[in-house]
Amino acid sequence: MTYQKPLDTQWSAFSTARDVSSGIDLSGKVAIVTGGASGLGLETTRVLSGLGARVIVGARSPQALNDLKGMRNIDTERLDIFDQHSIRQFVERFVAREKKLDLLILNAGVMATALHRDADGNEGQFATNHLGHFRLTAGLWPALRDAEGARIVSLSSRGHQISGLDLEDLAFERREYDKWVAYGQSKTANALFAVAADARGVKDNIRAYSVHPGSIVGPLARHLSKDEIAGFGAVDEDGAPIIDPAKDKKTIAQGAATAVWCSTSALLHDIGGVYCENSDIALVETEKRSGVRPYAVDPQIAEHLWQKSVALTGADID
């Protein structure tokens, strides 16, 4: 089991990304934020760039990327994490001009989509949320190694509690497709990815973390109907988001806090492979809504997933 024990930080569900990074200087650091042009990714981009890091934002939308042009310390690149060709081109462009990568924030994702598949037949949510980021990380690994102290942050969520992995049917070829089970499986994969990546990276001072940002009404909910969103108690009678951090209903600024904390906190200097929430390491829980399920931080399952991902993508690290 990984070091899954809270550090009792000074932060809480109410803390914002700016709060948890106050006083930190990232001058000279290079960061990539996938899906960094909207929602949580955009807030993460703003905060990291405000700390002095040069942030490269990868996103699908040309208009969203265009809106970021001219902003201080921010470069934009088209990146469709669902498309192998797009990932390969992004990596090639990056390594051609950069010597290192200090922070890799794997933020892009989809939730509760209708069944769709990538070019290899992989289920769409798993392909986007996990396999695309797996390919990207493998391609960028040499640049992470050259940073001599890089961090990888993988956006998981409490959605991982919906489902563990079915390693024999990740693509829903035998099971009936359920969009929420598929989403839960992909979020479990995001957490396990951090465990396996950290185990591989620790010798080169590359540490990896997974995070639950909180429940935020934002772009990730674009595939849900108004009735589905209302059914979660996420909006009021006027359709406005309900903000109650004590019940995990956060603003975007609060939702970005844990990813920024994992990217910058000195408390994590010698710790990696952990699942975090509310800007702290989460407890392992089997019943409570908070915390992380044991299967999502299990090193053996993480290793099985890594090997399966290598087989599915042809990508790996040295």
Nearest 5 degrees, angle CA 147-CA 151-CA 152? 125
275 is catalytic: no
- Taking the C-alpha atoms of residue 69 and residue 50, their distance in angstroms, rounded to an integer, is 15
User: Of 197, 86, 216, which is closest to residue 151 (Cα–Cα)?
Assistant: 197
- Taking residue 88's Cβ as centre, other Cβ atoms within 10 Å add up to 14
Nearest 5 degrees, angle CA 38-CA 39-CA 40? 120
- Taking the C-alpha atoms of residue 195 and residue 176, their distance in angstroms, rounded to an integer, is 29
Q: Which of 183, 209, 275, 295 is catalytic?
A: 183
- Taking the C-alpha atoms of residue 22 and residue 163, their distance in angstroms, rounded to an integer, is 36
Amino acid identity for residue 64 in this structure: A
**Alpha-carbon torsion angle 256, 217, 272, 131, nearest 10:** -120
Mind telling me the catalytic residues? 183
